[in-house]
Structure 1
Amino acid sequence: MAEDYTFFKDCYNYIEDEKYALNDELSIFYSDKCTNLNDWEQDYTDICVNFKKVIIYINNKFNTSHFYHNSTFIPYMNFWLNYQLGQLKYSKFTAESFYKLIEEHDPIFFTSTFKINAHNISENDLKYMKSLYDLYKLYNDIITLDPGNANGCNSKENECFILYKDLIQNCTPGVEKKICKALLDFRALYNTLKRASQCLNKELPELPSYNQVIIPSQKLDTVSELKQEQVQAENRETISRVPTELSTENNNILKTVGSTLGASTVFFSAYMVKTF
């Protein structure tokens, strides 16, 4: 199934919704349905309860017309479920099987709110989506930071910049990828914030394009290769200058040493003959 990345346009709003939703109390009528299940651990109870909290909060906003794009909350909640289960070290459930179980166990809840098209997101798509989600969380942190918190702002700004640079390198010009369109949407949002942010009372740095990231990196690689070739050439030249023949002076020394050793051998042999 081709994944829908368009919900990330509203991701900042959903992250805000999640913050408020998780502070709400869930009716015991709904929370009990998250506990009375066989082979069920606390992690799954927590995900079930929080999943219902976020759905209720979004549903209430939808019903009061305080909403953004009517179609994006369903793929967002499917991503949210995949993301939360993916955070567990060893999950017994996929997003699809988890949703099916809680829907069967509490059909009234989903009748009174809304259902989602729960399915398993591929490993590759989920990896990109997690990174986008992290970008929007950093954006949320930056925009809600106290302008006087210089260290906090610098830290979040750097995290955001580094993560974006890592992701944009997947976006070769001319190759269409959904992650790249989503990154362009984020870049536009971020650069709008850059012009209006009160964080540190100064503009945040502009996020780079693909070419701004890749071309300097390629130049660095080229310079490194040229330096390596230069060192290798210098080494070859040094080796070629090492003398392969002995100088005249060294030759004479060796001849003298050889003659002396030869004479000594003759005298010693004559002495031995005379003695015996």
Structure 2
Amino acid sequence: MAEDYTFFKDCYNYIEDEKYALNDELSIFYSDNCSKLPNWEEYHTAICIKFKKVIKYINSKFITGEFYHDTTYKPYMNFWLNYQLGQLKYSKFTAESFYKLIEEHDPIFFTSTFKINAHNISENDLKYMKSLYDLYKLYNDIITLDPGNANGCNSKENECFILYKDLIQNCTPGVEKKICKALLDFRALYNTLKRESQCLNKELPELPSYNQVIIPSQKLDTVSELKQEQVQAENRETISRVPTELSPENNNILKTVGSTLGASTVFFSAYMVKTF
């Protein structure tokens, strides 16, 4: 199944909804139906309760007329379930089997709220989606931070920049990937915030495009290679300049020493002949 990434444009709203939802109370009837299921562990109960709380909160926004993301909440909830179960090191359930079990065990809850098309997201898509989700969580952290918290703002901004830069390198121009369209949407959202927010450091660059990341990196590699070649050439030139002959000054010294020694030899020989 081709995955739908379009819900990410509303993701920061859903992340905010989740914060409020988890502080809400859930009817004991609905929470009890999250426990004592076959092959169930305590963490499965916790995920089930959280899942129901978020669904209940989103449904309440429909009732009050506050909800306007009417095409993206179901794909988001399917991702959310895949994400939560994917955090477990050894999960006995996939998103599809988990949802089927809790729906069968508590049909009244899902009839009174809404149902989703729960399915398993591929490992590759889920990896990209998790990274996008982390980007939007950082974005949500930034927009809710006190602008006076400079350290917090800078820390979140740096995290966001590094994660985005790592992801955008998967988006070679001409290669169509849903992750890349979702990243461009995030980039536009973030850069708009950066220009308007007092929290973000105006001295740091906006989120770059693929070419802005790759081309400087390629230039850096080329410069590094050129410098290395230059150093090697300079070393070769230094070695080639090591003198193999004596300098004129040294030659003059040797000539003087040689002349002195020669003259001494002649005088000594003459002296010996004269003596005998």
Q: TM-score, normalised by structure 1?
A: 0.84
Structure 1 residues 209 and 248, CA, compared in 2 at 3 Å: closer, same or farther? closer
Structure 1 residues 126 and 262, CA, compared in 2 at 3 Å: closer, same or farther? farther
Equivalent residues of 1:197, 1:203 under 8 A apart: no
Equivalent residues of 1:168, 1:210 under 8 A apart: yes
Shift of 1:250: 16
Equivalent residues of 1:10, 1:68 under 8 A apart: no
Shift of 1:228: 2.7
Structure 1 residues 265 and 77, CA, compared in 2 at 3 Å: closer, same or farther? farther
**1:87 and 2:81 aligned:** no
CA displacement, residues 149-175 of structure 1 (integer Å, 9 cap, x when unaligned): 111011011111111111111111121
Mean Cα displacement is larger for which, 193-202 or 179-188? 193-202
Shift of 1:46: 0.4
Distance in 1 between residues matched to 2:272 and 2:110, nearest whole Å? 117
Matches within 5 A, 1:79-158: 79-158=79-158
Distance in 2 between residues matched to 1:159 and 1:201, nearest whole Å? 13
Shift of 1:54: 0.2
Distance in 2 between residues matched to 1:72 and 1:168, nearest whole Å? 24
Shift of 1:241: 7.3
Shift of 1:261: 25
Q: List alignment gaps of at least 5 residues for structure 1.
A: none
CA displacement, residues 94-147 of structure 1 (integer Å, 9 cap, x when unaligned): 111111111111111111111111111111111111111111111111111111
Mean Cα displacement is larger for which, 260-269 or 250-259? 260-269
The number of residue pairs the alignment matches comes to 276
Q: TM-score, normalised by structure 2?
A: 0.84
SS at match of 2:75: helix
Shift of 1:197: 1.1
CA displacement, residues 18-63 of structure 1 (integer Å, 9 cap, x when unaligned): 0000001111110011112122111111000000000000111123
Equivalent residues of 1:85, 1:91 under 8 A apart: yes
CA displacement, residues 235-272 of structure 1 (integer Å, 9 cap, x when unaligned): 55667778999999999999999999999999999999
Equivalent residues of 2:157, 2:200 under 8 A apart: no
Mean Cα displacement is larger for which, 259-268 or 49-58? 259-268
Shift of 1:90: 1.1
Mean Cα displacement is larger for which, 59-68 or 122-131? 59-68
Structure 1 residues 189 and 249, CA, compared in 2 at 3 Å: closer, same or farther? closer
RMSD: 5.4
Q: Sequence identity of aligned pairs in percent?
A: 92
SS at match of 1:175: coil
Q: List alignment gaps of at least 5 residues for structure 2.
A: none
Equivalent residues of 2:194, 2:200 under 8 A apart: no
Equivalent residues of 1:59, 1:113 under 8 A apart: yes
Structure 1 residues 246 and 66, CA, compared in 2 at 3 Å: closer, same or farther? same
Shift of 1:17: 0.3
Shift of 1:65: 2.2
Equivalent residues of 1:194, 1:204 under 8 A apart: no
Equivalent residues of 1:147, 1:201 under 8 A apart: no
Structure 1 residues 204 and 54, CA, compared in 2 at 3 Å: closer, same or farther? farther
Shift of 1:209: 1.1
Mean Cα displacement is larger for which, 262-271 or 66-75? 262-271
Distance in 2 between residues matched to 1:267 and 1:124, nearest whole Å? 99
Distance in 1 between residues matched to 2:91 and 2:243, nearest whole Å? 70
